[in-house]
Amino acid sequence: MKNLLLLIGLIIFSFQESMACTTAVISGKHTKNGRPMLWKHRDTWAINNKIMTFNDGKYSYIGLVNSKDKSGKSIWIGYNSAGFAIMNSASYNLNNDTITQTGTEGRLMKEALQKCATIDEFEAMLKAMDKPTRLEANFGVIDAQGGAAYFELGNFIIKKFDANDVTVAPYGYIIRTNHSISGDLGKGGGYIRYVTTNREFMQAIKEDRLSPKTIIQKCSRNMTNSLTNVDLNSFDNIKENHPTYVSFTDYIPRRGTSSSVVVEGVNKGENTNNVVMWAVLGWPLASVCIPLWLTDKVELPKIVQYQENLKDSPLCNMALQAKRFAYSYKWGYSYKYYINVNALLNADNTGLIQLVTPMENKIFRKADEMINSWENIDYTKVKEFYKWIDSQLPVFYKENWDITPKN
C-alpha cells in the first residue's frame, strides 16, 4: 500500500511539474511603450507547438496550438481581431474537493477568443458557466480598452485581480505561476519562479525597459534560482566542449518548457490591427522570438506553421533538436534533472543562449524599425519580413549546429 501511494504521489508530482507555467498580466502603466502585455512561459507535456489563425467565430483570432491538435480545438495563448487576448496557468491550490477536472482550459480560451471583445464580456462568460466548472486555473486577459486582469477560476470560485488597480498591482503588473492567491497559500507550486520573475520585472521597471524583448531574454531565459541564489551565468568562463552538469530545478525555463509568448496589446483608441504576438516556439533556450500579426492578407511564416512531414512547426522542430545538446546526460531518470550548462553558456560564446540572442536581437531591430515606420500595419512590409524570417532561420540553425528540420 505504501508503495502504491508513493507511485501515485510521483505521478501527481510529475504531472504538476509538466504543467508548470510562469505568466504575467501587465498594464501599460510601466511598460516601455505604454502598451499592455500578456506573457505565458508554457511548461507542458505537449512540447511540440505551432501557430494557427482562425475565422470560426464572431472575431478572427491567432493562437498557440499543440502540434498534435490539427484542427486547433484548444488555444493556449492568443488574441483576436477586437484586441482581446487571453492565456492561462494551471493552479493547484483552488479546489479542495474530489470533483474530477476536465483540463479543458484551452477550449475555454478558444471560445473566449471567438466571442469576447472585452474583459467584461469574458467575466460574464465565466459567471454564466455551469458550476462546478471542473477547472482550476489562472486566466490572464487584456483588451483594447486598456483592461488588464487575472481571473482565478475554481469549481465554485471566480476571483478577479485588476492590474490597473494600484491596491492590487502597485507597479501595474500581476504574476501567476502555479498557485492562486484565492487558494491555500503554501500549496500548489511555482513560488520560487514567482519570486524570480518579480525580481526581474521590478528591475526592468526601475530601468524603464519592461518590453517583450526584456521578458523573453531576461525571464524566459533566466538562469537564476531565487531560493538557492545560484546564478548559472557564472559558468560562462568554462571553455566549450567541457560538459558541466548542474541541477536544473525551479528555474523559469525548464526541461518541459514548450514555448514562451508575449502578446503586446494596444491602448484605448488605437487600431487593433497593431496588436503583436511575440512567439518563441520550442525550448526558449534554443529558439528565437518572432513577431506575428493577425491578418488574412498575409500568410504566417512557414517556420511557425504545422508541417505534416515533421508533425510539428519547423522552428519548434529545430529548437528541440538543439535542446539535446543541453540534455546530453542519458542514464537512468537523472536525465530529467541535470543540464549541461556548458552547452548554454561558455567562454567561447558558442552556447545556445549566446548564439540565439544575437540572432534574435537582429529580428527585434528589424521588427522595431518596421513597426516604428507605420501608423497602422503595413501588410507589404509584413510579407517581406516573414519572407526574410523564413529564409534566415533555417540557415542560422544549419550554420551553427548543422540542424535542419527533420522527423
Q: What pLDDT shows up at residue 375?
A: 86
Q: How confident is the model at residue 407 (pLDDT cuts 50, 70, 90)?
A: confident
Q: Set out the domains of the chain in order of their start, with CATH numbers.
A: 18-401 (3.60.60.10)
Q: What is the pLDDT of residues 256-272, one digit of tens each?
A: 999 999 999 999 999 99
pLDDT of amino acid 256: 96
* pLDDT at 337 (0 to 100): 93
Percentage of the residues of the chain whose pLDDT score is greater than 90: 93
Residue length, the chain? 407
* pLDDT at residue 9, rounded to an integer: 40
Q: Identify the residue with better confidence: 15 or 358.
A: 358
How far is residue 206's CA from residue 67's CA, in Å, rounded to a whole number? 39
Can you read off the three cell numbers belonging to residue 59? 472575431
* Nearest partner of 323 among 272, 376, 371, 284, judged by Cα: 284
State mean pLDDT over 36-63.
Answer: 98
First to last CA, the chain: 42
With a pLDDT cut of 70, the percent of the chain lying above it is 95
Q: Is the pLDDT of residue 4 over 90?
A: no
pLDDT of residue 334: 87
Cis peptide before 132 (omega within 30 of 0): yes
pLDDT higher than 80, residue 64: yes
Residues 96-119 pLDDT 10s: 999 999 999 999 999 999 999 999
In SS3 terms, the chain reads as CHHHHHHHHHHHHHHHHHCCCEEEEECCCCCCCCCCEEEEEEECCCCCEEEEEECCCCCCEEEEEECCCCCCCCCCEEEECCCCEEEEEECCCCCCCCCCCCCCHHHHHHHHHHHCCCHHHHHHHHHCCCCCCCCCEEEEEECCCCCEEEEEECCCCEEEEECCCCCCCCCCEEEECECCCCCCECECECHHHHHHHHHHHHHHHHCCCCCHHHHHHHHHCCCECCCCCCEHHHHHHCCCCCCCEEECCCCCCCCCEEEEEEEECCCCCCCHHHCEEEEEECCCCCCCEEEECCCCCCCCCHHHCCECCCCECHHHHHHHHHHHHHCCCCCCCHHHCEEEHHHCCCCCCCCHHHHHHHHHHHHHHHHHHHHHCCCCCCHHHHHHHHHHHHHHHHHHHHHHHCCCCCC
For residue 278, the model assigns a pLDDT of 98
Buried b (16+ CB within 10 A) or exposed e, 248-266: bbbbbbbbbbbbbbbbbbb
- pLDDT tens column, 66-107: 999 999 999 999 999 999 999 999 999 999 999 999 999 999
Q: Which residue has the higher pLDDT, 130 or 376?
A: 130
Q: Which amino acid is at 205?
A: I
* Nearby residues of 69 by Cβ (< 8 Å), 6 or more positions away: none
The answer to whether 247 and 274 have CB atoms below 8 angstroms apart is no
What are 270-325's pLDDT values in tens digits?
Answer: 999 999 999 999 999 999 999 999 999 999 999 999 999 999 999 999 999 999 99
Q: Which of the four pLDDT bands, split at 50, 70 and 90, describes residue 19?
A: low
pLDDT level of residue 3 (50, 70, 90 thresholds): very low
Mean pLDDT score across all residues of the chain: 94
Bridge partners (DSSP) listed for residue 139 = 88, 151
For the record, the C-alpha cell of 101 comes out as: 477536472
Q: Look at 178-182, 231-235, 333-337 and tell me which has the smallest mean pLDDT.
A: 333-337
Given this model, what pLDDT does residue 317 score? 98
In sequence order, the 6+-apart residues with CB closer than 8 A to the CB of 181 are 152, 159, 161
The pLDDT tens digits for 320-350 are: 999 999 999 999 988 889 999 999 999 999 9
Looking at residue 335, its pLDDT comes to 86
Does position 140 have pLDDT exceeding 90, yes or no? yes
| Residue 388 cell numbers, joined | 526574410
Q: What is the pLDDT of residue 179?
A: 97
